[in-house]
Chain A
Amino acid sequence: MRSRDGNSSYLLAIFSIVFFYSLSLQASEYLISYRYVVKDAILYNESLQISSAMKKCSGSPQESLLLSIDDNQNLQEIIKLNAQEFIDFLHKIGLNVEHKEKTINYINHSTTILTLKTTCFKVDINENFARIFPLN
């Protein structure tokens, strides 16, 4: 017959397994946002933010992007190596266009901002490739 202390450590072990297993499941979901600013036809600023999701995302997976990888890498490294391909994929998903133009005494200034609002992506990383799905 188990003592009280024995039972509590046993339960703690089970809970920790469940907890870390749930964390590992959620680790495959990431929040990504992208924004770039063009001022007077010159690229002014570009930012891509990637963060692992702290809670499970809802939504169904959309069209995916398949990237080949060498070793087990994290998403940041994979995207860094395939930046152009990934940004083209973000353009395909859809970007918000915000354009403002001001002409004072026939002198023109313009600002265009393209934004991908924070979107949840499901990422399956295998040995040779990574599959990235936006959830919508």
Chain B
Amino acid sequence: MKYSMLLVFLLSGSTLFAEQANIGNVADAPKCCEKAPIKEMVLEKNNTILVSVIGQGVAPMNTTSPAQAYALAKRAAIADSYRLIAEKVKGVRVDDQDVIKNMMVKRSTVRTSVDAMIKNANIVETNFKEGLCEVEMEILLTYSQFSQ
């Protein structure tokens, strides 16, 4: 009985010590996983910002040749790239409507829209694989463009 009591005491003591040690480790550990706040890019005077996006487009089903499929998919991908640039530079308007009945979502509607004017965007790279075209597009934003 004495021995069993001693064993229980020793076990509980060791686990307590281990927990304390763990707490100490957590406290001492370097803050590896803390996310630094994302710094918003601000276009300052005499400074430029390079915005790069990858737009995707798909070829229609009823194309007469692979060349036509490529040309049409590329057009769609360019439009998508323009849209992505507009979203990044100007922002997106979001309208959301949810219909809830008896504590259940009956209908969820999200409408987003972008309206912008884009000039001097450059196509950097184009890839076409299995009917999907990807266009990498860049635009250089300068302070003078916005100060007018």
Residues of A within 8 A of B (CB): 36, 38, 41-43, 46, 91-106, 112, 114
Contact = CB atoms under 8 A, between A and B. Distances in A.
Contacts of A102: 109-111
Most buried by A among B73, B82, B87, B120: B82
A104 B75 CA distance: 26
B118 A97 contact: yes
A41 B57 contact: yes
A46 B73 CA distance: 13
B121 A91 contact: yes
A93 B79 CA distance: 15
Interface of B: 56-60, 72-73, 75-76, 78-80, 82-83, 85-87, 107-121
B108 A101 contact: no
Contact of A38 (B80, B110, B118): B80
Contacts of B115: 96-99
Contacts of B60: 42-43
B79 A112 contact: yes
Given A38-B75, A104-B109, A94 B118 contact: yes
Contacts of B108: 103-106
Nearest to A87: B75
A11 to B, nearest CB: 49
A7 to B, nearest CB: 56
